[in-house]
Every structure is written in structure tokens, then in C-alpha cells.
Amino acid sequence: MSPQHLARAVPPASGDPRRGIVRTDAALAAPELAEVVARRGRAAVRTAVRAAQDRARQGEIAPDEVVAAARQALEDQRAATEVFNATGVVLHTNLGRAQLGPDAVDALVAASGCTDVELDLASGVRARRGRQTLDALSRRVPDAAGVLVVNNGAAALVLALTALAQGREVLVSRGEMVEIGDGFRIPDLLESTGVRLREVGTTNRTRLADYADAVTERTAAILKVHPSNFRVEGFTSEATITELATLGLPVVADTGSGLLAPDPALPDEPDAATALRAGATVVTCSGDKLLGGPQAGLVFGDADTVERLRRHPLQRALRADKLALAALAATLDAATTPTSVAIHADEAELRARAEQLASLVEGQLPVEVVPSAGRVGGGAAPGLPLPGWALALPESYADRLRLASPPVVARVEAGRTLVDVRCLPPDRLGEVAGAIREVASRA
């Protein structure tokens, strides 16, 4: 054992009254911690107290700061910290993609106890899991006779190809061998399920004939992936779903971003209804991108194919939880979503919002309202500009705003911190201004 390992094996600290470090039982009884003991239990608080006693021994904190340090450490163990998205990127993967709307939030709370997720209350017998959500999906995409919800977009794609092509070959264009983020690549994901991918065509041009020439008796399906997070420009072409459907093989279309019907503001984004009408056998996409709902994977198709996916053993490992199902149903039935509102926001309205934010911090520091280029983000509509407005602050503010309460995640551009107002809820600008004032008062 190295000396460091030996040092770790020393029994945990237990107070040291001679050095002014509070004893563990006395700390647990302190009023500042008693309420935390009631909520979190003795064991968790004791662990935090011992860690704080250790820090006091090492001289990292003063001996009389043990209780406060333990309390802070326990507060820092929050499940998640709400942050304000001032990046101008509507679907920010690091910030959890889509913000849920009020109906979806209510649905989450309502579903947090016991629910009828798999029970028909009228007859008292077991019912199709999440049928309300499936019905809502069918209402929104009438072209799909079959619908299914799983954990996320990647799960939807894996399930579709495993059920349709395990042990066989799937054709995919070289221009659609996409990496979806954090080093995860669609080809690797699919090969991990026992599907063999056969690449056809070239990076910039793939024609129907490239697919037709590659078909053999081993071919089980054709995969069409929407290159959602990059764009190839210039001398390019890809075979369409309509063309691919003529080859007589199942066509799986991974549209990715979750648009259910065409959106004129997002002309290059594929949508589920159009893909099905063009002849796709199965369409897969995410629930927390352009759809604006919780993390989920959606599957659309004909009734028989979707039933085949639903009966596949893997489906049970990928099924959506009751909270996601509830939030998704409410999102689908809502008139709009925060995601859609942010993408379609009117530029003049954004400017007025930025000016309102400026007026709330004015006097404290020099502020300037400036144009700011937002993005859809989240692997959707790459290159589509979203002209908006921001509050410009000194560059050094970005780091400190992230540590303010509540945290504000802004964007640094050309030596300035831009607080882009596109994704800030208009009724919460006061809280954002409060965070900015907090940072300014310490600057």
C-alpha cells in the first residue's frame, strides 16, 4: 500500500474538543443540522460532519465552521440545480435539452404517486402501458397506425433495427454515418446490437442505384439517418425515402429531432408525417428535441411492424417510465411548448425583453443591449440562424454568473458575456436580473 492508501485507512474523524472541533454527536444535535437529520437521516449527516471535521483538522476550514460546512455540503448534494439558459441555444444538451411547459410539469407531479399507467380504471383490468400517451401520439400523427414510446431516440433506433434486422444486413449511406455527440456513433450503436451495416455511396453523393446494387438476400432493411448536427454543402445528393421505398425493403427513417409535421420556420428538418407518407416503414425520433417534451424515443409505423417491435424482448429493457409518459402526453396535447415559443420568438419581442432585463440591472453597471445569434441546438437545424437579442456584460461575468443563485449560463463571444434572452422565461427576468446584480455587487 502506498502512504496515501495508509492515510485513507485511518478511522474517520470524530471531533477534537481540544482543538475546538465539535464532537460528532454535538454537531448532529446542532439546530442548523437537526432539520437536515429529519429529512436526510442520521447516517448521511454524520458522513458530512466527519468530512467537515477532517477538513478542519487539515486546516482547510476553521474549527468553528464544521457545522456550517457540513450543512453546505449537504445542500450541495441537491438532485439537480435549476439554471437559466441564457446561451441563446434553445436545445442545449448540457442543460437537459427541452424545457417542459406548465401542463407537462403538472402531469409530472400528478404522475409522481401511483397512477393508472397500466390499469383500466373502468374495468379494473390491466391495460396497455401509457395508452393515453400513445393515443396523444396517434392524434398528432394520424398517418401512423402504430406508435410506441421508449427511453430515448437511440433506444428507438436500436429497437427498430434489432427487431427488423438482427443477424442480417442494413444498408446505410456513407453520408449518413453520423456521430450524435459525446463520441457516440450511430454505426457503433447499431453494430452493438448484432446488425451488420453495409455502407453505400460516398460522403457527399449517394444515389438510389448505390442501394439497389448493394441489395443481396442478406439485406433486411434500409436505414435513412437525418444528419441532424452538421451540413454537407456543395456537390451533394442523397436518395429520398420515396425512392428507397421502391426497393421493396423496410425503410427505417431516423429523423432525430422529433418534428411531427412540417414547420415552415425549419425548412430542412424532416418530420414524421412526411417521412411516413413518403413510404418509410418505421420512423424514429427523440421526445426532448424539437417536440419539446421529456427524454423519450418515439416510434411510428404501420400497425404490424410497430407491434413486432413492441413484442420484441428488448422493448421491455427500453420502455419509458411513467413520469416521461405523463409529461410526453401533456406536451403532445398542449397548444405550444417553451421550445417552439423560443424557436419562433419574434425578434422585436426579444429586443424588448433584453431592454427590460437591462432596465432591471441599470445603475448597477454599464449595460448594452446587442443583437445575438441564437441557434436551435440539440442536434437540430444546424446552420439555421435565430437572430435575437442579448445583454452584453464584461467577459469575466460568465464564470461568476454560472455560480450565482440561481445560476445563469450565458455565452462568451468576442470578449463579452452575452446574456441571450431567447430562452429566458419572460416572467422570471427579475430572478435573472437578481443574479446579475449579485455578481456586479461583488465585482
Residues that bind ligand PLP (CB under 6 A): 152-154, 157, 180, 225-226, 228, 254, 256-257, 286, 297, 379
Q: 437: helix, coil or strand?
A: helix
Rounded to whole angstroms, the Cα distance separating 369 from 387 reads 14
Residue 155 Cβ, how far from ligand PLP at the closest point, in Å? 7
Q: Compare residues 110 and 261 and give the one whose CB is closer to ligand PLP.
A: 261
Residue 228 Cβ, how far from ligand PLP at the closest point, in Å? 3
DSSP label at residue 238: -
Instruction: Answer yes or no: are the C-beta atoms of 189 and 168 closer than 8 Å.
Output: no
Taking the CA atoms of 260, 379, 156 and 268 in sequence, report the sign of the dihedral they define. positive
Q: Compare residues 143 and 254 and give the one whose CB is closer to ligand PLP.
A: 254
Q: Compare residues 101 and 153 and give the one whose CB is closer to ligand PLP.
A: 153
The distance from CA 135 to its chain's CA centroid, rounded to whole angstroms, is 24
Rounded to whole angstroms, the Cα distance separating 382 from 400 reads 29
Residue 54 Cβ, how far from ligand PLP at the closest point, in Å? 40
Q: Compare residues 89 and 157 and give the one whose CB is closer to ligand PLP.
A: 157
Residue 288 Cβ, how far from ligand PLP at the closest point, in Å? 7
Residue 168 Cβ, how far from ligand PLP at the closest point, in Å? 21
Mind giving me the DSSP string for 89-100? EEE-GGGTSSPP
Q: Compare residues 163 and 408 and give the one whose CB is closer to ligand PLP.
A: 163
Instruction: Answer yes or no: are the C-beta atoms of 361 and 391 closer than 8 Å.
Output: yes
Instruction: Answer yes or no: are the C-beta atoms of 141 and 265 closer than 8 Å.
Output: no
> Treating both helix axes as pointing N-terminal to C-terminal, what angle do 153-165 and 303-311 enclose, rounded to 10 degrees?
100
DSSP label at residue 371: E
Please give the grid coordinates belonging to residue 329: 402526453
Q: Compare residues 254 and 420 and give the one whose CB is closer to ligand PLP.
A: 254
Sheet holding 297-301, edge to edge: 146-150, 297-301, 282-286, 251-256, 219-225, 169-173, 196-200
Q: Compare residues 297 and 374 and give the one whose CB is closer to ligand PLP.
A: 297
Instruction: Answer yes or no: are the C-beta atoms of 23 and 14 closer than 8 Å.
Output: yes
E strand or H helix at 136 = helix 131-140
Instruction: Answer yes or no: are the C-beta atoms of 161 and 186 closer than 8 Å.
Output: no
Q: Compare residues 45 and 200 and give the one whose CB is closer to ligand PLP.
A: 200
Residue 154 Cβ, how far from ligand PLP at the closest point, in Å? 3
